[in-house]
Structure 1
């Protein structure tokens, strides 16, 4: 964390109060001791780092006014998220209300059960003073429903006690918005990983929550990742870390920050004390641990090792980079890998998870039309704005990027005889671009460019890897995983011959029947003329239920190649289609160790050194 010179520039002062829990309103104020002589300009960020879409958070500002010395000051709106106050001689304060009803990890949410906010949603930037110290007084709500609330954040305390209401400090605006805040009556547990305190905060009703198991599992994951990046010192780049978790009926997602993560999950995915002590971790719980592993890996990869265009962030406009395959895709590669390296899951479970990823990548024909570099660059307009045709038009830089990471890892290990791996590349990125990112006086470290990445891969591996970049990063070729895995005794099996009849569609809920959310190019539904948005109501004269759909049960009565009539509504018109059933368009992949062969070094648990 950067040292703050309080004498150099006066701190920007914020106050935030959960004012109306039922109305979902935060009252916020910002005071500038020395506003710009020509009139101080304020702006609310248009997006939040880690989520590449213009969110227009300013639309949630309900009322706003300015004052100085107790007198009103004229405030002119310049655009949808920018205001200019008239020149004043003394300190200037803006007062505003923020509507907070977005139950996600990206924005702000407030009701009688809890309060949550990211700084990008509630804290106006004081343009020209981003580098000044920023203080925020988080005040207790007056509503009796919040009498037992506490505060959880990784922001350093100034006048507040840990987990208490009061004043918190940030070195600058960038740090202020990189520490989300949760307030409520939450469950709390702590552990130390290589000497660093980590806190687990769980908000929401979770009967019989097994915090001890969660504590032990996260400790293993965090220690494994710290040792991965710093095998000699075991030194983490943080002074404390907080897992902020919102448990709901149905939800999944996470957003990384420099010393914390905001998570949302289904409460049934969290471990229960009612489960037998010898019980294996459930599939849902493993998924949640994978999410935690993913966001924690971002502490190094994207929060400190950054694309050059993110050093620093331009929070008012889209910032394009073709490198999200490295920052999100490689993080997706390592998230489950860290679970097996830390002993959380078995190698067999790891291969099952990997098989699902391979199948999901091969299922959409978009992979043949868009490279992961293009997917990264177009995240703002395509990946974060997906429509019904997305599987046929785009590829995910998360899933395909993770397979790119696997391809590089296997290639480097095989061609160097195990002397080098992708691990060495990641540690080199950390040493050169990440470790000292926040160490400078300005805090703006150097980001990495596409040329830097490719040169570093060659340098660390001692190989020429341009063909892999051309074919799998900048190109759209499918990764030949069976060939790449062969030297390690790992076998990939295409299970399509055993697949049941499929329409190759994505199905959503509708009272009338099975609503087609996606129709995969080349699949049975597409060949028959069905379209996304159609509602299938009958298959071969038998009713198709809505939620849950019985479509799979009906299809199980037929064979691949059978032709059946399908009735569907398109808008308000009933249509009839002749549909020839297919197997899966994409392989259903199983991965395992071939009998009598050695196991792959890719999932071998590393030593501490």
Structure 2
């Protein structure tokens, strides 16, 4: 019995970064079969127009060519045929991210949204995909890693072979890694997990597996066994100065700096490895929170256009709250290290004037055009639904604990939401998350959500943290790279540090201004994002922190900067730095949070 829709994909030309794909429809529509490729990928809320990477495309029936008519940027319709219809096309794959497709002589990777055309009318039917090995001796040892189930149920030929999916949505929700990767396996609450690592590295993968197992088991037990998948695959590509992750129903695609992997024989958790573990925790939590429990606006996804919702704060922000918290509760870091992470998040939010202009609901709704399309002015105009969303989750957790005298917490809200999804499988309507949080806790949370989601006031974190014996304060930090942390407030300098109100990065010519903040000295002098400061008072500028360290608030300096190829000479009056580096410290009497 033939499958209704069969895909075949092969790395046809790794050196040219081309996948070769065929798509056979056994019984095409009598009026002419319609096909389309998604314009975006779930979890990354921006129109990406993946169809632009299709290089060639033609159709055949019984060995004879069939005319294809392009209808718009990502849709085609074939002429009517009598018999099976097959499309043949090539996809250019050189997007080194977790969102698209990539292929070279060392590695292949793809998301189905980039390579598999949807067949109109067949989206809810089963389909299969044949993943073929690239030709040539150089690729004879390549392997396949994916959470897609094999049609036969048994892995063979290094994973190359026929896979199945119950529908198109499932097909595109299992990314595929190809190449000479290393892997390590473990079980979490009895569920098989595989951790696949590609790229050049020297690391202790057994330790990575042990630490990841602790994270996974904490998440599973938070929501309750059994886990919502039979098997889970982590796919991590490591390189230089890269970072990112994208969640899927039974896997996640990750990217990180190779130096953030645990070194053989190393003890403890350095900042790089902590960041990697936080990323792992974040994407794994999404297996519950957004892959299954999700906004009604995403059920089903319309992958041809934007799917707006005001709830991203709940699905990304709440997840961002639990990612580092899980590291503490799984026993990987202590309370002090965790509070340092919270302080850094606070600092990140407080340093952006966008928090005074954009509400969290608006940030969620405008993700498609603002958060995912950031420019030099973004810190002045938007607030992150990840970072501020995490702080809202923190504030809500502390509020619930305080008002219920410790009998309820945000954990109870998440379990309540999960049980609802298990019962009805329905997405959450706009505003429904808030009402269900009240149902789960027995509290009237209306005023809290009004302030947190629909106003731009700063959250009352100081009083709420004090209920758990944690002191909340700000100091001047030690420069732009000081994002706060755990510990007592640093003593105030005798002379306030001077600030230009910038975020800068090194440039061959000097210091490139990535952001110029509202109300700062640089903005008042007419400097803009993208300008490159080459000298201050006749001395070469090489480092943003060092450049500002020699300034005195209220004493003007002459700044030379390039804007494009034009040299600017401006007089800048540095301002006194504001205290914006958050410090969290413990009082004599502390509560059970965050350990419990």
Q: Partner residue of 1:311?
A: 299
Determine whether 1:344 maps to 2:336.
Answer: no
Q: Is the 8 A contact 2:503 2:544 kept in 1?
A: no
Distance in 2, matches of 1:350 and 1:176, equals 38
Q: 1:331 — aligned with what?
A: 319
- Mapping of 1:291-440 within 5 angstroms? 291-433=279-421, 435=422
Superposed, which structure 2 residues align to 1:67-466 within 5 Å? 67-159=60-152, 161=155, 163-207=158-202, 209-230=203-224, 234-273=225-264, 275-276=265-266, 279-433=267-421, 435=422, 445-466=425-446
Within 1, Cα distance between the matches of 2:201 and 2:518? Answer: 41
Q: 1:147 to 1:502 in 2, by over 3 A?
A: farther
Partner of 1:322, secondary structure, is: coil
Inter-partner Cα distance in structure 1 for 2:10 and 2:563: 49
Separation in 1, partners of 2:171, 2:556 = 61
**Alpha carbons of structure 1 residues 161 and 53: separation in structure 2 relative to 1, 3 Å:** same
What pairs with 1:2-41 in structure 2 (closer than 5 Å)?
A: 10-41=3-34
1:56 pairs with one of 22, 25, 49:
49
How far residue 436 of structure 1 moved from its aligned partner, in angstroms, is 5.6
The CA deviation at 1:586 is 5.8
Unaligned runs of 5+ in 1: 1-6, 438-444
* C-alpha contact 2:474 2:579 (8 A) present in aligned 1: no
The alpha carbon displacement at 1:500 in A equals 4.1
Residue 505 (structure 1) aligned to one of 502, 509, 515: 502
| CA deviations over 1:307-338 (Å, ceiling 9, x no partner) | 00111100111100000000000000100000
Aligned residues of 1:363 and 1:585 also touching (Cα < 8 A): no
Task: Provide the rounded CA distance (Å) in 1 between the counterparts of 2:420 and 2:140.
Answer: 48
CA 158–526 in structure 1, closer or farther in 2 if over 3 Å, else same: same
Determine if contact 1:372/1:474 at 8 Å carries over to the other structure: yes
TM-score, structure 2 normalization: 0.94
- Does residue 587 of the first structure (1) align with residue 580 of the second (2)? yes
**Alignment-derived partner of residue 484 in structure 2:** none
- Residue 3 of structure 1 corresponds to none
Pairs aligned (count): 577
Tell me if structure 1 keeps the 8 A contact 2:127–2:167: yes
Q: How far, CA to CA, are the matches of 2:176 and 2:423 in structure 1? A: 26
The more displaced of 477-486 and 301-310 is 477-486
SS class of match (2:294)? coil
Whole-Å separation in 1 of the counterparts to 2:498 and 2:288: 44
Q: Call closer, same or farther: CA 1:575–1:236 in 2, change over 3 Å.
A: same
CA distance in 1, matches of 2:506, 2:299: 43
Which deviates more from structure 2 when the two are superposed, residues 523-532 or residues 299-308?
523-532
2:9–2:22 contact (8 Å) kept in structure 1: yes
Distance in 2 (alpha carbons) for counterparts of 1:22 and 1:239: 36
The alpha-carbon distance between structure 1 residues 477 and 429, as it changes in their structure 2 partners (threshold 3 A), is same
Specify the SS of the correspondent of 2:133. coil
Report the Cα distance in structure 1 between the residues aligned to 2:75 and 2:380, rounded to whole angstroms.
38
Contact 1:362 1:586 in 2 (8 A): no
**What 5-or-longer segments of structure 2 have no aligned partner?**
477-491
- 1:585 deviates by 4.1
Instruction: For residue 164 of structure 1, report the CA deviation from its aligned partner.
Output: 1.1
**CA distance in 2: counterparts of 1:510 and 1:552, whole angstroms:** 14
Is 1:45–1:121's contact at 8 Å kept on the other side of the alignment?
yes
Q: Does 1:471 align with 2:462?
A: no
**Does structure 2 conserve the Cα–Cα contact (< 8 Å) formed by 1:21 and 1:143?**
no
By how many angstroms is 1:551 displaced? 3.3
- Per the TM alignment, residue 281 of structure 1 is displaced from its structure 2 partner at its CA by 1.0
Secondary structure at 1:28's aligned position in 2?
strand
CA contact (8 A) 1:10 1:132 kept: no
Match of 1:42 in 2: 35
| Structure-1 separation of matches of 2:544 and 2:448 | 41
CA distance in 2 between partners of 1:91 and 1:436 (Å): 41
Q: What is the CA–CA distance in structure 2 between the aligned matches of 1:172 and 1:583, rounded to whole Å? A: 59
Secondary structure at 1:603 match in 2? coil
The aligned counterpart of 1:597 is: 589
1:541 aligns with 2:538: yes
Give 1:565 shift.
2.1
What is the Cα deviation at residue 266 of structure 1?
A: 0.6
Give the whole-Å Cα distance in 2 for the aligned partners of 1:107 and 1:430. 30
Q: Distance in 1 between matches of 2:281 and 2:576?
A: 35
User: How far is 1:579 from its partner?
Assistant: 2.3
- Contact 2:503–2:513 (CA<8 Å) still a contact in 1? yes
Q: Which residue of 2 aligns with 1:441?
A: none
CA distance, structure 2, for counterparts of residue 23 and residue 140 of structure 1: 16
Report the CA distance between 1:487 and its aligned residue.
Answer: 1.3
Conserved? CA contact 1:76–1:84, under 8 Å? yes
Q: Secondary structure at the match of 2:302?
A: coil
Q: Which whole-Å CA distance do the structure 1 matches of 2:61 and 2:246 have between them?
A: 37
| More off after superposition, 63-72 vs 291-300 | 63-72
